[in-house]
Amino acid sequence: MIVRPLAPAIAAGSMLKGQSGYQVSIPDGSSDAVITLNGAEVMRISLGAKMSIKSQNDLTFEAPNITLKADKSVTISTGTGDMSLKSGSALTLSASTNMTIKCGFMMTLTSSSTMDLKGSTVNIN
């Protein structure tokens, strides 16, 4: 029995071109490891199994808009470092049911303008 791969292997320094015009380029001899995918108006990566991305250094996603969707839950955490959410404009946090904000030490809420605290009942202490 002869076993053949379903698709040809892509070696460093090669270019794979599809009939619909897409291109997959894996360069070699460069200090930057770059994989370039060109040609498709919509690019999808579909996996039937669990996926993990791990980097020994910083990991950056850049795009005009980034959307994360999950059928069940999303968890974002840090080991020992700080976490920041920054927006150049408005920031909205919303939940369909309950929302909890907890802090293990000091918490500061600051607004340079009016701050509204609303609820059917607002309990302080």
Please report whether residue 120 resides in a domain: no
Q: Is residue 67 part of a domain?
A: no
Domain that holds residue 21: 8-40
pLDDT digits (tens, 9 = 90+) for 70-119: 999 999 999 999 999 999 999 999 999 999 999 999 999 999 999 999 99
Per-residue pLDDT reduced to its tens digit, 25-79: 666 766 566 666 666 677 777 777 888 888 888 999 999 999 999 999 999 999 9
CA–CA–CA angle 51, 77, 61 (5° rounding): 60
pTM for the structure as a whole: 0.61
Q: Is residue 23 part of a domain?
A: yes
DSSP output for 90-102: ------SS-----
- Determine, yes or no, domain membership for 113: no
Q: Is 31 within a domain?
A: yes
Residue 33 in any domain: the answer is yes
DSSP, residue by residue, 26-76: E--SSSS---EEES-SS-----SS------SS------S------SS----
In order of 31, 53, 54, 61, 75, the CA distances from 58 in angstroms are 16, 12, 10, 10, 19
Identify whether 104 is part of a domain: no
**How far apart (Å, rounded) are the C-alpha atoms in residues 17 and 27?**
14
- As for how many domains the chain has, the answer is 1
Q: Is 36 inside a domain boundary?
A: yes
